[in-house]
A = this chain, B = another copy of it.
Amino acid sequence: MSKVDADTVTELAQAIVSRGGRFLEAPVSGDQQLSNDGMLVILATGDRGLYEDCSSCFQAMGKTSFFLGEVSNAAKMMLIVNMVQGSFMATIVEGLTLTQVTCQSQQTLLDILNQGQLASIFLDQKCQNILQGNFKPDFYLKYIQKDLCLAIALGDTVNHPTPMAAAANEVYKRAKALDQSDNDMFAVNRAYRHQALPIHAPLPSSLCPLSPMWGQGSGT
């Protein structure tokens, strides 16, 4: 269930199949914690019969498994999943930092989002970690940036524009230049801040031009 690049997998598959073997690739989506909890999502490609033979194993190890057909589809699908995740993360921190510089409470924004249709585990956990200054990386910023690059390159092969991923990629590159590579992907919020503050510190009130009432919102 290790992850290698699409060309290597395809070569490997051909070598095995040409000698009469059966090949199955099965990368997983999810981080360390999901793995511990048996909540991984497994994306399999290759030999369908072998996939079915393995399905009881997959059920033990993960929450769900998908059979995606042709070898290389799993790698592509994983990139797209991570592209969506990485772009959404950049969008969330854009909202959080805009909340902050317009002198409102980031916690209140999170509370509002958590009450609405956008509520998700991803949104809640990433935001809680930002607001609490919990930096344990679940998904390294440098890896999500790499996957954004690869997803943009995937779009390039089929001439498909990906302007959201392209914008997100630029934001992550800035965060990398600010030494956030080995922090969790939410450290991309550092790219939105113009001063060398710790990523969870409140902005100084001198930067709050609109109102003196920094962070006074209160949920009920």
Contacts and interface: CB of A to CB of B under 8 A. Distances in A.
Nearest to A121: B117
Q: How many chain copies does the complex carry? A: 4
Contact of A112 (B43, B102, B164, B174): B43
Interface in A96-144: 97-99, 101-102, 104-105, 108-109, 111-113, 115-123, 125
A217 interface: yes
Given A77-B104, A116-B30, A210-B157, A162 B66 contact: no
A14 interface: no
Count class of interface residues, chain A: 35 or more
B163 A167 contact: yes
Interface of A: 29-30, 34, 41, 43, 55, 63-70, 73, 76-77, 80-81, 83-85, 87-88, 90-92, 94-95, 97-99, 101-102, 104-105, 108-109, 111-113, 115-123, 125, 149, 151, 153-171, 173-174, 176-178, 192, 194, 209-211, 213, 216-220
28 contacts: A30-B117, A66-B218, A68-B216, A73-B211, A77-B108, A80-B95, A80-B109, A81-B109, A81-B113, A83-B98, A84-B113, A87-B87, A91-B164, A94-B164, A94-B165, A98-B151, A98-B155, A102-B160, A118-B120, A158-B210, A160-B192, A161-B171, A161-B192, A163-B170, A163-B171, A164-B167, A167-B167, A174-B194
